[in-house]
Amino acid sequence: MIVSDPVALERVEVAIIGSGPGGSVVAATLANAGKSVLLIEEGANLPQDSCQPFSFQEMKQKYRAGGIAAAVGRPNVAYAEASCVGGGSEVNSGLYHRTPDDVLEEWVHEFSVEDLSPASLEPHFAACETVMQPATYSAALPAASRLLREGAEARGMESSDVPRLVVFDDTLDPQGVARSARRSMTESFIPEFLAADGKLLPKTRVHKLRKQGRNWQIQARWQNRNVQIEAENVFICAGAIHSPALLQRSGIRLNAGRSLSMQPMIKLTAEFAEPVNYPGMGIAGEQVRDLNSDCSLGCAISSRAHLAINLVGVDAGPAYAIKQQSHLVSYYVMARGCTDGSVRALPGFDDPLVSYRLSGRELDNLGSGLKVLTGVLVAAGASRVYTGLHRQPVVENPGQAEQLPDRLAPGTDSIMTIHLMASCPMGEARNRTAVDSWGKVHGHTGLYLADVSTLCSSPGINPQGTIMALARRNSEHFLRV
């Protein structure tokens, strides 16, 4: 049921704050187990088709701050987060990975996470996959994918069509590529949660939590009114920035927001002699792993507007992108990322201050990843590659690709991210974790975290698969104890 008036709410057994992949999976798991669950979400409850995917309209409707935010540092890193029922799953590309084994091993060793292994996570991945059905292209690949694969193979690198959380329909686009739509939380776990008698309260921002006796009092703002909701247990699932900010506003500071990690990205544009792009070209899920730079190379959105923005600063500029759109494709390099950021709730401000210091290693990795990607695209037949770097010449042959700098300059302005994480890491190593191995906030009964913030570090892959599996694992543990 969608709650229309929270004032009338009785005390609930479990309140979940934030309805992204973390919160939605917890909500469905607990409601299916018969708990009385209230899912509170700051953003609006909008259907998938309320706007065009990846449009300005979508940024206005479904992103926090209209999709414009920056982590302060040198350089500032632009970032985007969603704020709507379903969280990031409503706006993302749905690229799906299971957590790599070596990453889990690293978390166990460095953060002393209990009972975390590929085998112990397997049933949780499998259960989430039954609902989300990650799938790859069955027929033709989009041209952007095909070219990345050809270039990678020519350079002896492995490339694959990463499964995505989408529903393919039966129709093909003019290039024979299957059309698809996102399988987001509002298309999967949230309907399941509602069917299990869960209550969803959208457009309600939780400001603070206070322990009162055995319960938690949730202080929130709904329709310009302050409301208070009581819950025996609270799961905070507000994402990498807002989970630690809410903890801090509630006076809980132990390792909350001190270790923000992100996967910094930089985009480039390749031009091909033959037409390769067309309005409506599906999301290209191809990814190449460059082991030397610890970077993923993949396909970015190649709409007219995005291409024009990428070509700002290039001689012919956006006008050229408009004229040549059908010959241009945008790609990205995404580094694994370190843990050198922080989130601080500022008194008197609504938004927490996010800062991030790009390390030398990240600048090295992005630089060499960009060089490799440029080489791959030249090998795929690109006649030009526009690197987007300030004053960097256009690359037209392998020799020029080799001459690109090995390290990005610290002042590079175009670095951005859509993957923020690890601001409240989990584990038993109390000196560096905010929650225990199962998401319980250290030192506080009835208070849990289950979202991207609890990852110990960047997994180096798109994180939604990891978030969902961990959220399910932690909810099942909650039900057992």
Ligand X SMILES: Cc1cc2nc3c(=O)[nH]c(=O)nc-3n(C[C@H](O)[C@H](O)[C@H](O)COP(=O)(O)OP(=O)(O)OC[C@H]3O[C@@H](n4cnc5c(N)ncnc54)[C@H](O)[C@@H]3O)c2cc1C
Radius of gyration of the chain (CA): 22
Residue 227's SS3 state is strand
Question: Binding partner of residue 69 among another protein, ligand X, none, CB under 5 to 8 Å per kind?
Answer: another protein
Query: In the complex with ligand X, which residue's Cβ is closer, 22 or 369?
Result: 22
Closest C-alpha among 93, 65, 90 to residue 80: 65
**Which does residue 88 bind out of another protein, ligand X, none, counting CB within 5 to 8 angstroms by kind?**
ligand X
- Residue 375: name its binding partner from another protein, ligand X, none (Cβ under 5 to 8 Å by kind): none
For residue 334, give the nearest of 184, 459, 163 by alpha carbon: 459
Tell me the torsion sign for CA atoms 403, 407, 413, 416.
positive
Helix 360-379 and helix 143-154, axial crossing angle in degrees, nearest 10: 100
Among 47, 280, 393, 398, binds another protein (CB under 8 A): 280
Q: How far is the CB of 203 from ligand X (least distance, A)?
A: 9
User: Which of ligand X, another protein, none sits in contact with 119, Cβ below 5 to 8 A by type?
Assistant: none
- Residue among 75 and 264 whose Cβ is closer to another protein: 75
Is 60 one of the binding residues for another protein (CB under 8 A)? yes
Please state, in angstroms and rounded to a whole number, the distance separating the CA atoms of residues 227 and 221: 6
Residue 11 touching another protein (CB under 8 A): no
| CB nearer to ligand X: pick between 87 and 282 | 87
Size of the site for another protein (CB under 8 A): 39
Choose the stretch contacting another protein; rule: CB under 8 A; options: 70-78, 102-110, 200-208, 244-252.
70-78
- CB closer to ligand X, 40 vs 363: 40
Residue 221 or 444: the one with the smaller Cβ distance to another protein is: 221
Which residues on neighbouring strands pair with residue 178, listed in sequence order? 172
Spatial separation of the C-alpha atoms in residues 141 and 181, rounded to whole Å: 16
The number of C-alpha atoms within 13 Å of 325 and in the hemisphere containing its C-beta is 17
Q: Are 370 and 336 in contact (CB under 8 A)?
A: no
Considering CB distances under 5 to 8 angstroms, the limit depending on partner class, which of another protein, ligand X, none binds residue 462? ligand X
How many Cα atoms within 13 Å fall on the side-chain side of residue 330?
A: 22
Q: Are the beta carbons of 121 and 246 closer than 8 angstroms?
A: no
Q: Which one among 195, 323, 393, 443 touches another protein, defined by CB under 8 A?
A: 323
Which two three-digit tokens encode residue 217?
A: 């009092």
Asked, as a colleague might, if the bond just before 393 is cis with ω within 30 of 0, I would say no
Active site residue 444: no
Instruction: Candidates 14, 39, 40, 69: give the one binding another protein (CB under 8 A).
Output: 69
Site of tokens 């995505």: 164
Looking only at the bridges linking them, the beta strands covering 77-79 and 416-417 are: parallel
Question: Which entry of ligand X, another protein, none binds 238, CB below 5 to 8 A by partner kind?
Answer: ligand X
Is 65 a residue that touches another protein (CB under 8 A)?
Answer: yes
Rounded Cα–Cα distance for residues 462 and 296 (Å): 10
* Whole-number Å distance between alpha carbons of 124 and 121: 5
Q: Is 318 in the site for another protein (CB under 8 A)?
A: yes
* Nearest CB to another protein, comparing residues 313 and 381: 313
Helix (H) or strand (E) holding 290: strand 286-290
By CB under 8 A, tell whether 207 contacts another protein.
no
8-state DSSP, 316: S
Nearer to ligand X, 61 or 92 (CB): 92
Which residue in 2, 7, 47, 56 binds another protein (CB under 8 A)?
A: 56
Catalytic residue (choose from 124, 419, 444, 477): 419
Binding mask 379-418 for another protein (x = CB under 8 A): --------------------------------x-xx----
Helices (H), ranges, 165-238: 189-195
| Segment 284 to 313, residues that bind another protein, using CB under 8 A | 303-306, 308-309, 312-313
By CB under 8 A, residue 228 contacts another protein: no
The identity of residue 6, as a single letter, is P
Kindly state the smallest distance separating residue 346's Cβ from another protein, in Å. 7
Comparison of 234 and 382: residue with beta carbon closer to ligand X: 234
Count Cβ atoms below 10 Å from residue 223 Cβ, excluding itself.
9
Q: Residue 36 has what DSSP assignment?
A: -
| 194 is a contact residue toward another protein (CB under 8 A) | no
Q: Which amino acid is at 276?
A: V
d(CA 447, CA 169): 41
CA atoms within 13 A on the CB side of 241: 24
Binding residues vs ligand X (CB under 6 A)? 17-23, 40-43, 80-84, 87-89, 91-95, 205-206, 237-239, 242, 246, 418-419, 451-452, 462-464, 467
Contact residues: another protein, CB under 8 A = 52-57, 59-60, 65-66, 68-70, 74-76, 279-280, 303-306, 308-309, 312-313, 317-319, 322-323, 346, 349-351, 353, 411, 413-414
Return the active site residues: 419
